[in-house]
Amino acid sequence: MEMNITIELWQGENGFVAKCPELELAAPGKTREEARENLLEIMEIRFQEMVKLGQLNDSLPERGSEKHDSTVTSQVELVGWEKRLVKVA
């Protein structure tokens, strides 16, 4: 089964974080590549556990995704992003 996902990469003081908004998952890493690989590994483990527990078909709609044959399609799509200065105090 396959799913087209978005991977966001964020840089902080102590490394990087890779995020998948469609699945609400994130993983850290010392480099961009390590964060990305850690995220993909977490996703693989999560999917294996959902299949093992028989929860995959129930979990997908909760996350805005639909299963069609061997493809999972997310109904959530990143359409843009912006940086903005906001008052905090």
Tens of pLDDT, residue by residue over 14-57, are: 999 999 988 889 999 999 999 999 999 999 998 899 889 988 77
CA distances from 29 to 5, 35, 39 (A): 19, 4, 9
Q: Which domain holds residue 66?
A: 2-74
Give the count of alpha carbons within 13 A of 13, CB side only: 0
Report if residue 80 sits inside a domain.
Answer: no
The pTM (predicted TM-score) of the whole model is 0.76
pLDDT, mean of residues 3-7: 86
What's the mean pLDDT when you consider all of the chain? 86
Let me know if residue 85 belongs to a domain.
no
Residues, the chain: 89
**Residue 28 near residue 35, CB atoms below 8 Å:** yes
Q: How many domains is the chain built from?
A: 1
Average pLDDT on 5-15 reads 93
H or E stretch at 3: strand 2-3
